[in-house]
Amino acid sequence: MADVDVRMTVNGVARRSTVPPRLTLADHLRSTCGLTGTHLGCEHGACGACTILVDGDAVRACLMFAVQADDTEITTIEGIADRDGRLSVVQEAFREHHGLQCGFCTPGFVVSVTAFLRDNPDPSDQEIREALSGNLCRCTGYQGIFAAVRAAADALRATDADAGAAARDGSHP
Amino acid sequence: MTAAARYAGARVQRVEDARLLTGHGSFVDDVVRPGMLHAHFVRSPLARGRITGIDVSAALALDGVHAVFTAEDLNPGVREPWYSLVGPKVPDTPRPALAEGEVRFVGDPVALVVAVDRYVAEDAAALVVVDYEPLEPVVDYKTATGSEELVHAAYPGNVAGTMSGRPAEQLAEVFASAAHVVEETIHQQAYQAVPMETRGLIAEYSAHDGGMTIWASTQVPHEVRLFCSRALGLSEHRVRVIMRDTGGGFGQKALPQREDLCVMLAALKVPAAVKWIEDRQENLSSAGQGRHEHGTARLAFDADGTILAAALDHVQDAGAYPVPWPVMTAVVVGMLFPGPYRVPAATFTCTSVFSNTNGRTAYRGPWQYETLAREVLLDVAARGMGIDAVELRRRNLLRHDELPVTNPNGMPYSDISPLETFEHALEILDHESFRREQAAARAAGRYIGVGTSSYVEPTTSGRGFHGTEGATIRIEPSGVVNVYVSGGSSGNSLETTAVQLTADALGVDIGQVNTIQGDTAVTPFGGGTGGSRSGSMIAGAVAETAAGLRERLLAIAAHRLEAAVEDLELADGRAQVRGTPGAGLSLAEIADIAYFDTRKLPPGVPPGLEASGRYQAQSPTIWANATHVCTCEVDVVTGAVTILRYIVSEDCGPMINPNVVEGQIAGGTVQGIGGALLENSVYDEDGNPITSTFVDYLLPTSTEVPVIEYGHVETPGPGPGGYKGVGEGGAIGAPPAVVNAVADALAPFGVTITRLPMTPASIVALLQEAEANQGVRV
Amino acid sequence: MKPAAFDYHRPDSLEEAVTLLAELGDDAKVIAGGQSLMPMLAMRLAAVDHLVDLRRVGELQGVVDRGDALWIGAGTTQAAIQRSADIDAAVPLLTRSTPLIGHFQIRNRGTLGGSVAHADAAGEYPAVALTLDAEIEASSVRGRRAIPAGDFFSGWWTTALEPDEVLTGVAFPRWHGRSGFAIEEFARRHGDYAIAGATVAVELDDDDRVRRCSIGLFGLAPQVERAAAAEAALVGTVAGDVRADEVGETAVSGLDSVPSDLHGPAEYRTRVGAAMVARAWEKALQEARNG
């Protein structure tokens, strides 16, 4: 069972490793890369706690082998906030709306929502609920999470509108 | 002395959130120790069988395997494995480390593999050969008492224990002469805590000094420490338990279980830390179940619908290895069955029965069956008497001004508001307009319904292990504050709570306060998260400790400012002369005196600004109460239930942080909705669990959950701040509210619901049964 | 919950892939998105000696307009199908079925070929392929072949695919004229495999008579099924004369191996199946009438 060389960019950092083929991408990120924010809640693709971005797409890190991520660009929860630690709009909204309690499922939600709002900047409530349905939370009853996503969507649109207006004015925001 | 509370009562942002939102939390699986080894259990594939041989040689021969332990290796090392919560004197049920001689449920741990990583440990586990002689399992607790097969030989009839109230004969006359008597046998399925982080721990033993360090996913670090020290015969002060972030517990992580004990024992025998992280299949089949029970409930009414008597015969599934002693938790079901109503007479029996299944563990409102049985039965009674269920409850609910009152089973209620929360919740709903809407919907062939559920809940036990809570507060030399409490936060925001309360108590900005929790080596002893106690007990501990510190701060400042202590107040991080702006000292200035300029201390005031205090709960219980109201629509073709509105009016006293309170209510409520509609731990007839993945065990997701509307009624309880517990109530109130809403929606069909969960198929079956009985076309 | 060890292969072409499969025989398994295979491996319900990753096989990518049919590469992700205006224009039923598959994170990895080859009895894509009489294309060292969907699904997770074959793509015939398409399913939760579901494609003539009709059933047998008797009964009738609940009843009347499980007995599934057919029929008909 020969080990395999893989190269991937994780949160902007190029990484080379030699991994056993059966090593899941989630375990690779947690153990080899030391990025423990990607959590394992079920290891069978149902809870969403391990959600990461692979080439921009939100995917379950437990449903990929590290070898399948060769030559990809990966963003984990650790890569969502600014480098100086400033929370993203989505993270800030989760904090503001009590969208987390124990915090174990939270990285998966934040990563999923980040991708969802990027692709669906003006979601209906029903679209938000459906987008969240692939992540399980046992603490919040989804109340604060839903409110956070609604608020983040509105905040991101407002930011975009301001930026758009600024661009039209020729001024800088 | 202090200015008005600035943070208590406010929707303060949580101090936990920044690390958790950025992936920098520290859950037990995130902890890495030098040379750390990984454990994996070999578990029984049989519900019951005799172990006739175990061959570990092939597993041991595998590269990377350090050890394979069986009962022979580990069990002799167990000394006194009792729980502080329960004490050593109860006739506790058996709980061996590894299965010894006989396996008693599918998932029973038989051997423990320790290897270089989890992958290898699982490879090796597959190589352990266990020979079993299959035995007839006792799968269904409902027939277990009549079975010749015994789960544990020492328990005839598979009965773990029974407790009861007054003799039922004493109520016979009341029931015989009552205008209305209603009786139903109501069944609840097994469902589970299901924390998103499974169980797990790392145990690291230092043979040279006899010290054990444990990183645990726990709600109660000090219980883990005491348990480990007694079970392994180590001195308590040589055991250190550390937890930072625990990914949900809901009761399942309140007490160490058999696997935890095995890993502690194994750590004594290997030269490095041992990590065990439960996987989801293990969690769903071995970490414990709750709620599996049934009961025959009876209520007697006079002709006006006034309750005359209540009786419950309750039987619960203890599984094979319940944690803790199930008899102790069952009796609460009986004691609380009268609930928040005026009930003149009552009795009960509560029986715990073993089965060859997953053991019963504490789960959020472990006695919740009393509310289910009573509230469902009240709706059945109302339909039978031709009274609206709301009106029936109005006639019987306790009013705030009737308190204190002791229920007929001896529970002394005080400081609650049953009728008030009930009316408040109905007002939020607008009950009359819902009834009009319902009539219109029925005319159009749509079936909508409303259900309510009211309960009274004991929180914040004042006894034994839970009866006190300590805090240490250090105002450090620079004037910033550290507050140390035992912790055990598993999502319930104890860090934010401690920081909010301490900032108020010392009159400082919340940013000046930091909290240290979850490390038994540095925090005061405490009871952790359990029994809806943390908020009120931490409030007591902080108040007790801060009071002494405040006196010292003021004494130092008064001395330095040459003012009278009575003229000073603590606010905005300063000791300030009232009405004289600028005349005051900052905490930093006072700390400088206390630590470095001690000759300026007033006579009799010791140096330093550090205090420890321990709060003793001021009552045996703090009572809380609430009413849940649910409306739903039922698709009578598919049986699908859609929840339309969900309202909770809760009286948990004044709120320390409304966000946290509402978060607890919502989380519990959605667990209860899950129990009513989705979640079900199922065994086949051979005792194989068939719901051990998230594909089969259905947790609610965002698409099944309504928006929850909150009402707050605030009746202060005894103790500092008047705070009451709120962690469990949501999970107690929700199932019957949903059952009653569905039953109300289906009232035109004459359906009575007595079995949970209400799956779409079960609803269709009820409708078809009604159709067959009454000729109603569905 | 960790998979057992295996060897990993990542062919760069179809030829390389089929050669590998021919060499490795039954010890090998292909992986595309892996969204169904990975859980099986993690729980050790499945074990393989060799895993052949199809990610770099270019022949499995792309969408080709073949005039009367649209060919979609097996490696096309469900997310890509959901986004594609071309696919929506040519095979709207496929687009409409896609949001019902799992959750968006799953659809970002899950592929058309994977869904079809996995052949779950409650699979939306197998039902769509069967309903539209799609052709499933497979390659091996022995050559290429096109398998009619009607011959492809043959039991619980069982297909006509040979162990040495790679599913390369699916050709979906276009429907023209006054056509309507709908999929309806009932699941315990959003994203779960359906308890029962139905796909309906219907074409009307100018007099509102049913010219052509296909009804697919899923979750109601060991494999996806067609409701042939109900289809035959509908063709030639005036659409407005047909009661939807009768279409549903007829569609499920011939089923003789409806599964029973945790979520309900066969009788219940059948009832739900009939309701889903009725609801899909009404929707599809509505669309056809407006077309």
DSSP tag of C170: E
**Measured CA angle at B533 (ends B532, B537), to 5 deg:** 160
> Is there a contact between A22 and C35 if contact means CB atoms under 8 Å apart?
no
- Reported as a single tens digit per residue, the pLDDT across B279-303 is 999 999 999 999 999 999 999 999 9
Closest residue to C186, CB basis, from B638, B696, B700: B638
Q: By CA distance, what is C80's nearest residue in A?
A: A57
Contact list in A for residue B663 (CB cut-off 8 A) is: 98, 101, 139-140, 143-144
Interface residues of A toward C, Cβ cutoff 8 Å, are: 1-2, 4, 20-22, 24, 27, 43-46, 48, 51, 57-60, 62-65, 67-68, 70, 112, 116, 129-131, 133-134
- Where does chain B hold its CATH 3.30.365.10 domain(s)? 17-24+468-616, 293-462+619-774
Contact list in B for residue C260 (CB cut-off 8 A) is: none
Residue that is last in its domain, among C156, C173, C190: C173
Within-domain flag for A155: yes
- What does the DSSP assignment read for B430-477? THHHHHHHHHHHHHTT-EEEEEEEEEEEEES--SGGGSEEEEEEEE-T
> Is there a contact between C264 and B760 if contact means CB atoms under 8 Å apart?
yes
Q: Using DSSP bridges, classify how beta strands B481-485 and B513-517 pair: parallel, antiparallel or unpaired.
A: parallel
Q: By CA distance, what is C109's nearest residue in A?
A: A59
Q: Is A20 on the interface with B (CB under 8 A)?
A: yes
DSSP H or E run through B333: helix B326-336
Within-domain flag for A84: no
Looking at the structure, do residues C218 and C277 belong to the same domain, yes or no? yes
Using an 8 Å Cβ cutoff, are B135 and B48 in contact? yes
Nearest to B111 by CA among B135, B123, B129, B95: B129
Best mutation target among C271, C277, C279, C282 (most B Cβ atoms within 10 Å) is C271
Residue that is last in its domain, among C153, C173, C193: C173
> Residues with Cβ < 8 Å from B772, sequence gap 6 or more?
none
Q: What is the pTM of this model?
A: 0.97
DSSP tag of B630: E
| Higher pLDDT, residue B112 or A165 | B112
Structural domain range at position A33: 4-79
> Is there a contact between B704 and C195 if contact means CB atoms under 8 Å apart?
no
- CATH class in words for B17-24+468-616: alpha beta
d(CA B361, CA B418): 29
Closest residue to A44, CB basis, from C43, C79, C104: C43
> Is there a contact between B119 and A140 if contact means CB atoms under 8 Å apart?
no
Closest residue to B694, CB basis, from A40, A47, A130: A47
Residue B648 has pLDDT above 90, yes or no: yes
Q: By CA distance, what is C265's nearest residue in B?
A: B761
Contact list in A for residue C46 (CB cut-off 8 A) is: none
> Is there a contact between A103 and B491 if contact means CB atoms under 8 Å apart?
yes
Looking at the structure, do residues C76 and C169 belong to the same domain, yes or no? yes
Looking at the structure, do residues A94 and A164 belong to the same domain, yes or no? yes
Q: By CA distance, what is C273's nearest residue in B?
A: B638
- Reported as a single tens digit per residue, the pLDDT across B523-553 is 999 999 999 999 999 999 999 999 999 999 9
> Is there a contact between C190 and B701 if contact means CB atoms under 8 Å apart?
yes
> Residues with Cβ < 8 Å from B82, sequence gap 6 or more?
B88, B92, B227, B230
Within-domain flag for C2: no
Q: For a pLDDT cut of 90, what percent of chain B falls above it?
A: 97
The chains in contact with chain A, meaning 3 or more Cβ pairs closer than 8 Å, are: B, C
Residue that is last in its domain, among A30, A53, A79: A79
Within-domain flag for C233: yes
Architecture of domain B293-462+619-774: 2-Layer Sandwich (3.30)
CATH code (residue A17): 3.10.20.30
Contact list in A for residue C190 (CB cut-off 8 A) is: 129-130, 133
- Reported as a single tens digit per residue, the pLDDT across B631-647 is 999 999 999 999 999 99
Which residues in chain C show pLDDT less than 50? none
DSSP tag of A63: G
Within-domain flag for A55: yes
Q: Residues B369-379: what's their mean pLDDT?
A: 98
Structurally, chain A folds into a number of domains equal to: 2
Q: Is B63 on the interface with A (CB under 8 A)?
A: no
- Reported as a single tens digit per residue, the pLDDT across B137-157 is 999 999 999 999 999 999 999
> Is there a contact between B21 and A139 if contact means CB atoms under 8 Å apart?
no
Looking at the structure, do residues A13 and A75 belong to the same domain, yes or no? yes
Q: Is C263 on the interface with B (CB under 8 A)?
A: yes
Q: Is A142 on the interface with B (CB under 8 A)?
A: yes
Contact list in A for residue B666 (CB cut-off 8 A) is: 140-144
> Is there a contact between C42 and A43 if contact means CB atoms under 8 Å apart?
yes
Within-domain flag for C1: no
> Is there a contact between C188 and B698 if contact means CB atoms under 8 Å apart?
yes
Structurally, chain C folds into a number of domains equal to: 3
Name the minimum distance, in Å, from the CA of C51 to any CA of chain A: 9
Q: C75 φ, ψ to 5°?
A: -80, 0
Residue B26 has pLDDT above 60, yes or no: yes
pLDDT at A171: 47
Q: Give the number of A-B residue pairs with CB atoms closer than 8 Å.
A: 178
> Is there a contact between C1 and A44 if contact means CB atoms under 8 Å apart?
yes
Q: By CA distance, what is A93's nearest residue in B?
A: B21
Looking at the structure, do residues A57 and A127 belong to the same domain, yes or no? no
- Reported as a single tens digit per residue, the pLDDT across B735-770 is 999 999 999 999 999 999 999 999 999 999 999 999
Residue B188 has pLDDT above 80, yes or no: yes
Closest residue to A43, CB basis, from C1, C109, C189: C1
Q: Is A129 on the interface with B (CB under 8 A)?
A: yes
Looking at the structure, do residues C125 and C183 belong to the same domain, yes or no? no
Looking at the structure, do residues C47 and C90 belong to the same domain, yes or no? no
Name the minimum distance, in Å, from the CA of C85 to any CA of chain B: 27
Structural domain range at position C194: 178-290
- Reported as a single tens digit per residue, the pLDDT across B492-507 is 999 999 999 999 999 9
Q: Is A60 on the interface with B (CB under 8 A)?
A: no
Closest residue to C104, CB basis, from A1, A58, A68: A58
Looking at the structure, do residues C90 and C22 belong to the same domain, yes or no? no
Looking at the structure, do residues C216 and C231 belong to the same domain, yes or no? yes
Looking at the structure, do residues C205 and C145 belong to the same domain, yes or no? no
What's the first-to-final CA gap in chain C, in angstroms? 52
Looking at the structure, do residues C213 and C157 belong to the same domain, yes or no? no
pLDDT at A172: 45
> Is there a contact between C105 and A24 if contact means CB atoms under 8 Å apart?
no
Closest residue to B663, CB basis, from A43, A98, A134: A98
Looking at the structure, do residues A98 and A141 belong to the same domain, yes or no? yes
What's the first-to-final CA gap in chain B, in angstroms? 69
> Is there a contact between A129 and B23 if contact means CB atoms under 8 Å apart?
no
Q: By CA distance, what is C79's nearest residue in A?
A: A57
Looking at the structure, do residues C187 and C275 belong to the same domain, yes or no? yes
The chains in contact with chain C, meaning 3 or more Cβ pairs closer than 8 Å, are: A, B
Using an 8 Å Cβ cutoff, are B698 and B672 in contact? no
**Measured CA angle at B227 (ends B223, B229), to 5 deg:** 120
- What does the DSSP assignment read for chain C? --PPP-EEE--SSHHHHHHHHHHHGGGEEEESS-TTHHHHHHTTSS--SEEEE-TT-GGG--EEE-SSEEEEETT-BHHHHHH-HHHHHH-HHHHHHGGGSS-HHHHTT-BHHHHHHHT-TT-HHHHHHHHTT-EEEEEETTEEEEEEHHHHEEETTEES--TT-EEEEEEEEP--SEEEEEEEEE-SSTTSPPSEEEEEEEEE-TTSBEEEEEEEEESSSSS-EE-HHHHHHHTTSBGGGS-HHHHHHHHHHT------BTTB-HHHHHHHHHHHHHHHHHHHHHHHHH-
DSSP H or E run through C124: helix C124-131
> Is there a contact between C189 and A68 if contact means CB atoms under 8 Å apart?
no
pLDDT at B40: 98
CATH code (residue C110): 3.30.465.10
Nearest to C184 by CA among C285, C265, C38: C285
Looking at the structure, do residues A65 and A98 belong to the same domain, yes or no? no
| Confidence band, pLDDT 50/70/90 cuts, at residue A170 | low
> Residues with Cβ < 8 Å from C50, sequence gap 6 or more?
C6, C7, C8, C9, C20, C24, C27, C28, C29
Q: Is B262 on the interface with A (CB under 8 A)?
A: no
- Where does chain B hold its CATH 3.90.1170.50 domain(s)? 31-135+197-247+253-286
| Higher pLDDT, residue B771 or C138 | C138
Q: Give the number of A-C residue pairs with CB atoms closer than 8 Å.
A: 92
- Reported as a single tens digit per residue, the pLDDT across B680-696 is 999 999 999 999 999 99
pLDDT at B2: 44
Residue that is last in its domain, among A18, A46, A79: A79
Contact list in B for residue A135 (CB cut-off 8 A) is: 701-702
The chains in contact with chain B, meaning 3 or more Cβ pairs closer than 8 Å, are: A, C
> Is there a contact between B761 and C4 if contact means CB atoms under 8 Å apart?
no
Contact list in A for residue C76 (CB cut-off 8 A) is: none
Residue B1 has pLDDT above 90, yes or no: no
What's the Cα-to-Cα distance from B545 to each of B473, B499, B518, B527, B576, rounded to whole Å? Answer: 7, 13, 19, 17, 21
Within-domain flag for C130: yes
> Is there a contact between B248 and A138 if contact means CB atoms under 8 Å apart?
yes
CATH code (residue C18): 3.30.43.10
> Is there a contact between A138 and B671 if contact means CB atoms under 8 Å apart?
yes
Please, how many CA atoms are within 13 Å of residue B695, restricted to the half-sphere of its CB? 12
> Is there a contact between B279 and C1 if contact means CB atoms under 8 Å apart?
yes
> Is there a contact between B25 and A103 if contact means CB atoms under 8 Å apart?
yes
Looking at the structure, do residues A132 and A111 belong to the same domain, yes or no? yes
Q: Residues B554-570: what's their mean pLDDT?
A: 96
Q: Residues A118-136: what's their mean pLDDT?
A: 98
Looking at the structure, do residues C133 and C189 belong to the same domain, yes or no? no
User: What CATH fold (topology level) applies to the domain B31-135+197-247+253-286?
Assistant: Aldehyde Oxidoreductase; domain 3 (3.90.1170)
Looking at the structure, do residues A95 and A119 belong to the same domain, yes or no? yes
pLDDT at A100: 98
Looking at the structure, do residues C78 and C21 belong to the same domain, yes or no? no
